[in-house]
Amino acid sequence: MIAPSTISDNRKIRLVMSLRKSGIQDTDVLSAIERVPREHFIPDALSDQAYEDIAVPIGLGQTISQPFVVAKMTEALELSDLHKVLEIGTGTGYQACVLSKICRRVYTIERHRPLHEIAEANFKTLGLRNITTLCGDGMRGWPKIHNIEQAPFDRVIVTAAAREKPPTKLIEQLSVGGIMVAPVGRAGEQMLKRYKKESEDTWSVSDIMPVRFVPLLPDIATETSRETLCDESMVVA
């Protein structure tokens, strides 16, 4: 009998090879995908789909993104180990974990408290010490906490779709020379875009590819508990 860990490793290798064939060229990104155990971030009932190149539901109407989309967004950020990254939309933490393998530090905001709690538990289990989490309104950017300002950020990644353009506060919190990757547009018309802040007043913008993301929404969502999320995840599965 083949051990489950061996099966998982083989599926992971096939996924990385598939991403390379699909055009992902950054070796740091491919290495990060290979090193991150995606099964930790999805419901147990869907663990057999951990290394399929598909989005997976995680409850509360949210999904963990398709690995190709995660890899493409990460590659577009052009990360180095000196960068400080702001992520909007933690989910259960998969994208943040991939980022953490490449950059210096990740600050990530999730509006759904049950997902935020699961992400924090995942980061603790995996011993990730360069990720700081917050349950809050990501459209407002990273707040000053205990009179400490973390902005500006070298990179910003948004994992939910704004209607017309990224929120003004996120633009303000990106450093000059920094890059933001974010989906923009209404459902069925979304485009993943790359923004580069050339100066305080000027931007260059380029299209990456059509995508499908949940909408970017304000405020903290109203859920009752982590247990409610677990129940819903099982129903979705």
Angle at alpha carbon of residue 9, lines to 4 and 13, rounded to 5°: 150
Could you give the residue numbers annotated as active site? 65
H/E element, 118: helix 113-125
Task: End-to-end CA distance of the chain: give it in Å, rounded.
Answer: 27
Looking at residue 35, what is its pLDDT?
96
The alpha carbon dihedral of 42, 43, 47, 53 has a sign of negative
What's the whole-model pTM score? 0.91
pLDDT per residue of the chain (237 residues) written in tens, 0 to 9: 444 566 678 899 999 999 999 999 999 999 999 999 999 999 999 999 999 999 999 999 999 999 999 999 999 999 999 999 999 999 999 999 999 999 999 999 999 999 999 999 999 999 999 999 999 999 999 999 888 899 999 999 999 999 999 999 999 999 999 999 999 999 889 999 999 999 988 999 999 999 999 999 999 998 654 444 543 333 222
Q: CA-to-CA distance for 61 and 59, rounded, in angstroms?
A: 5
- Burial (Cβ within 10 Å: 0-12, 13-18, ≥19) of residue 225: exposed
Give CATH for domain 66-220. Answer: 3.40.50.150
Half-sphere exposure of 192 (CA within 13 A, CB side): 21
